[in-house]
Amino acid sequence: MDGAETRALGVMSQGELHALALALFLPRATADTSPFQFILLDNPIQAMDPAKVDGFVDVLAGLAQDRQVIVMSHDDRLPEAGRRKVKGAQIFEVVRGEKSQVAITSSVDPAGRYLDDAFALIKDPDVPGDVRDRVLPVLCRMAVEAAARDLLWGRRIGDGASRQDIEAAWNAATTPYRRIALALRDDRKADLKGWFEARGWREEARKVIGTGVHAGLRHDPLTAVRHVERLVKELQAGAL
């Protein structure tokens, strides 16, 4: 340290210590002589920086090819990286409620969660129409932007871009239109007019998440959310 010998553990961060512990544990747990065909980890990414989290998820994906891998964590970065990097990863949410009643549900992606909220709002008879028509476009916009962000991050991380550069590019795209262009064409200034107009429902979805956010919904609520749902699915599929 600064030219002088010192004990390594004294100058390592908590995240580095966790990474070192995993580097010692995982080879032993997956050795051919190990009688176990599963790995169970509890909150393994505590204090890790984002780059280490991505790398760790890559390691887990490799290990999961021939064994069961179960990871418990309260850090949102782990499921986010899992959805983005591991095809077929199963993600569950565990909630302890009243009287310690535990509920385990499948955790949907952020875009799906916003859409679920939108559909639930439509079905709620106690919500006034004017309130519904102002809130629905906001939920729809958040769903589309979440799907676009996942598409952008998945592609750019795969190409080796840094998290800082991706975040800067995302923040520079300040409207839903620009963020969709960035996700689809890797250029926030790309012209998507023809792409939206090629499918009538795409153009309707664009209006919901654009002018609808500022002026309120001007469409049938269920039809509007269905259009947005189709747009989200296209983004999640990496539509060109």
Whole-number pLDDT of residue 71: 92
**Which CATH superfamily hosts domain 8-106?**
P-loop containing nucleotide triphosphate hydrolases (3.40.50.300)
Predicted TM-score of the model (pTM): 0.70
Within 10 angstroms of residue 35's Cβ, the number of other Cβ atoms is 4
Angle between helices 77-85 and 129-158 (to 10 degrees): 70
Handedness of CA 102, 108, 110, 111 (dihedral sign): negative
Within 10 angstroms of residue 202's Cβ, the number of other Cβ atoms is 20
Instruction: Give the whole-angstrom CA distance, residue 167 versus residue 180.
Output: 15
- Residues of the chain whose pLDDT is less than 50? none
Alpha carbons within 13 A on the beta-carbon side of 170:
19
Tell me 11's DSSP state.
Answer: T
3-class DSSP state of 143: helix
Instruction: Give the whole-angstrom CA distance, residue 51 versus residue 73.
Output: 17
Tell me the pLDDT tens digit for each residue of 201-229: 999 999 999 999 999 898 899 999 999 99
The domain locations on the chain are 8-106, 110-236
